[in-house]
Amino acid sequence: MIDFTRKKFGVISLGCDKNRVDTEKLLSVIRARGCTITDDIEEANVIIVNTCAFLNEARKESIETVLECAAYKGGNLEKLVVSGCLPQKYVGELYSQLSEADLFLGIDDYNNFFEALEKSYNGERVNFVGLGDNKYCGDRVVTTPCHYAYLKIADGCNNFCTYCLIPKIRGRYRSYPMEDLLREAEELGDVSELILVAQDVSRYGIDLYGKNYLVNFLQKLTTLVNINSVRLLYCYPDMIDDELIVEVRDNPKIVKYLDIPLQHSETRVLKLMNRRGTREEYLALIEKLKREIPGIAIRSTFISGFPSETEKEFEAMCDFIREAKLVNCGFFAFSREPDTPAYKMKGQVPYAVKKRRVKKLYAVQREISQEYLSSYVGKRVKVLCDGIDYDKGCFVGRAYFSAPEIDGRVYFNAANAVQGEYYDVRILSCDSYDTYGKTEDFDGE
């Protein structure tokens, strides 16, 4: 038996916030064994790279990271582990080609981590992908700043968008039991902002309980005294019903913010994408949300350059963005992914055209975001302090209309501010992404 308590473990997490939660659960398995976790990769005897495989660029980053880590084998590094989405989908190719890796684990194999690692230390290259028990695990070593955390409420997806690999990587939609999630949330301790994530948060519970249980879950979650506020990411437009709208509006603990991945505006393209909805329905939903939830911040993502997207349809999407006036948007060039229906579609758009279109979409959104943020200049905004920005020499935080890492920030001066606490900040200026201000107790400029 190998005494793993004498080993130092380093973990690199790539990809989305959902992958981060998986990494945190793997870290809990390592900590429960009594092992040392280090942030210094050069010190690590075992390095785990938890990978993303959603897009070609993500796969490229994952492989490059593994190769960079392999260079440490001349020092303290003894074993290099590749886990997560990349081996889950591509281990048949990776096992022989990525010989630098000693051990491969899939998305549900973390409970077998030490069994697989023991085999690796006994001289074998190990493929443990698909050998896990797929059991829910609520234990975590939280890697976000201490005042906010993510809660992954489901895995997989049933939407089968024609450009997306997620169902072939993560499988069909699987909600985690509500009682387990509530226990997990409670065990996180005091959290200023709990951010709910899944590939599709808005379908929570349908597979487990026979009907949508998101509102029911939100009502129970927000009774927990350790949770100050809850933010919702990735709500699909066809699942945002009156019950959810009322809950977001009337529950004081739910942040008035929704991330709704629309992906396109034009009905013909949406149909090709296998997205439910039309341009008219999307605009009607946005108008309804703004009417029913005053001040709501809506974020979305859009794909440009989908196969056969015409210049006219692209310009129509620009007009949609201008009309919808969303607070924040992310834009992506269509990525042609093998093993998806869109890969074989006719009318593939040249790369240069896709990049040009994305650039213009960002330019359109910058004007909208600048106008929105300008409306706060001269006003006081409640800001959650995320810490200090030493480069700018001030505190940094977020207003309700910004989620961490994907949206803009509020940079502010104050006599003092504590991470995880809220402050009234008078906004003095803005650009198209961030705002700048000060608290009333600050005497300087």
Give residue limits of the domains in the chain: 4-127, 148-374, 380-438
> Which residue has tokens 């400029």?
445
> Which residue has tokens 């329905």?
281
Q: What is the mean pLDDT of residues 398-405?
A: 96
Taking only the tens place, the pLDDT of each residue in 121-132 is 998 899 999 888
User: Is 212 a residue whose pLDDT tops 80?
Assistant: yes
Taking only the tens place, the pLDDT of each residue in 219-242 is 999 999 999 999 999 999 999 999
Judge contact between 72 and 41, C-beta under 8 A. Answer: yes
pLDDT category of residue 82 using cuts at 50, 70 and 90: very high
Give the 3-state DSSP-derived string for the chain, with helices as H, strands as E and coil as C. CCCHHHCEEEEEECCCHHHHHHHHHHHHHHHHCCCEECCCHHHCCEEEEEECCCCHHHHHHHHHHHHHHHHHHHCCCCEEEEEEHHHHHHHHHHHHHCCCCCEECCCCCHHHHHHHHHHHHCCCCEECCCCCCCCCCCCCCCCCCCCEEEEECEECCCCCCCCCCHHHHHCCCEECCHHHHHHHHHHCCCECEEEEECCCHHHCCHHHHCCCCHHHHHHHHCCCCCECCEEECCCCHHHCCHHHHHHHHHCCCEEEEEECCCECCCHHHHHHCCCCCCHHHHHHHHHHHHHHCCCCEEEEEEEECCCCCCHHHHHHHHHHHHHHCCCEEEEEECCCCCCCHHHHCCCCCCHHHHHHHHHHHHHHHHHHHHHHHHCCCCCEEEEEEEEEECCCCEEEEECCCCCCCCCCCEEEECCCCCCCCEEEEEEEEECCCCEEEECCCCCCC
Q: Which two tokens stand for residue 386?
A: 């995320």
User: Is 5 a residue whose pLDDT tops 80?
Assistant: yes
Taking only the tens place, the pLDDT of each residue in 8-23 is 999 999 999 999 999 9
User: Is 398 a residue whose pLDDT tops 70?
Assistant: yes
Averaged confidence pLDDT in the chain: 95
Q: What is the pLDDT of residue 185?
A: 96
Q: What is the pLDDT of residue 442?
A: 87
Architecture of the domain made up of 380-438: Beta Barrel (2.40)
Q: What is the pLDDT of residue 445?
A: 60
- First vs last Cα of the chain: how many Å apart? 63
User: Is 291 a residue whose pLDDT tops 90?
Assistant: yes
Taking only the tens place, the pLDDT of each residue in 25-61 is 999 999 999 999 999 999 999 999 999 999 999 999 9
Q: What is the pLDDT of residue 166?
A: 94
Whole-structure pTM value: 0.94
Superfamily of domain covering 148-374: tm_1862 like domain (3.80.30.20)
User: Is 152 a residue whose pLDDT tops 90?
Assistant: yes
Q: What is the mean pLDDT of residues 266-295?
A: 97
Longest dimension (CA), the chain: 66
Q: What is the mean pLDDT of residues 278-299?
A: 98
Q: What is the pLDDT of residue 134?
A: 67
Q: What is the pLDDT of residue 310?
A: 98
Taking only the tens place, the pLDDT of each residue in 101-141 is 999 999 999 989 999 999 999 988 999 998 887 676 778 99
Superfamily of domain covering 4-127: Methylthiotransferase, N-terminal domain (3.40.50.12160)
Taking only the tens place, the pLDDT of each residue in 330-365 is 999 999 999 999 999 999 999 999 999 999 999 999
